[in-house]
Amino acid sequence: MPRHARIDVPNLLQHVIVRGIEKRDIFLDDDDRLDFTRRFSRLLEATGTDCLAWALMSNHFHLLLRATDIPLATFMRRLLTGYAVTFNLRHGRTGHLFQNRYKSIVCDEDAYLLELIRYIHLNPLRVGLVATLDELDSYPWSGHTVLMGRAELPGQRTAEALSLFGKTVAVAVRRYRAFVNDGIALGRRDNLVGIGLLHTGEPLDGELRVSRVLGDGNFVGQILQQSEGGAATRTRSLEQIVGKVLTLLNIPETELMTRNRSLPLANARSIICHLAVLSGFRGTDIARRLGISGAGVTVAARRGRDLVEKRPEVLTLIE
């Protein structure tokens, strides 16, 4: 069966699963795990890729990533190739280390971000590497320990993840841990790893529908539209999008880069972010133009999507 092209659109949340060839272990000791996490952390920072969750087992690992400037395929190639070369040298082996291509599932962030963070971080407990949640709190090879404040991984979006649970770190950590604890009783969540996914809407290509997109029919349709040709088709420059949104909302250009947090200006920034992301512009380019952070672009784009749904005529600005 021919391979299907990956869906590699900037700023999409992707659940990545990598397994060892023939189900063999890809981490034989803590030196391997330490080498992997250091390599992973450096690459996150060097490429501007967002990591919301991660967990290493013995023969596979899970990552929850949001690629921004560098395509996910490039990120994963650098990560896996570098690690495999070092692993083979350390253990005196040759040949492939990983099973075929890595598996990536595009996810509707609004609907599944919390569930995926919990699912991924519960994996060490689910497979028996730790016996209790207390042990998981100190398991050094997952993002759960980082969110609990017991370890660090530069590049992991710790503040962003915790902000989903509370306004202060102490409250957020407590609520996050309770959320994870509630997930233990849920057992396997096959739909979160692409097994048996079903979507509403018109039938789509079987493999794509079943195993590569986690979201409802509307989300799947949007992703397919954006991924055709590898990226959204740009009919407007970033400056044109900015100018047209400001004109539509009657906001002076001079206000855009100020620290003004008025609702009209916040709405303008959000709509600009959504339209720019939809048009395929890189998160860093949008952030630089608006004077906000990359994470700010992601949050604003989600809010902008909600605003545009209420005013669909806004989409004509990028046509």
Q: Where are the domains of the chain?
A: 13-211, 232-318
Alpha carbon distance 296, 192 (integer Å):
26
Alpha carbon distance 124, 301 (integer Å):
33
Closest CA to 208 of 200, 218, 198: 198
Q: CA-CA-CA-CA torsion for 62, 64, 69, 70, nearest 10 degrees?
A: 10
Q: Are 156 and 68 in contact (CB under 8 A)?
A: no
Look up the CATH number of domain 232-318.
Answer: 1.10.1750.10
pLDDT tens for the chain, residues 1 to 319: 345 556 666 678 899 999 999 999 999 999 999 999 999 999 999 988 999 999 999 999 999 999 887 888 889 999 999 999 999 999 999 989 998 778 888 887 777 889 999 999 999 999 999 999 999 999 999 999 999 999 999 999 999 999 999 989 999 999 999 999 999 988 666 666 654 443 433 333 333 333 466 666 566 656 655 555 444 445 678 898 999 899 888 888 888 877 777 888 888 999 888 888 777 777 778 888 888 877 788 788 888 887 887 776 676 666 5
CATH topology (fold) of 13-211: Alpha-Beta Plaits (3.30.70)
Would you say the CATH fold of 232-318 matches that of 13-211?
Answer: no
Closest CA to 44 of 18, 63, 17: 63
- pTM for the model: 0.68
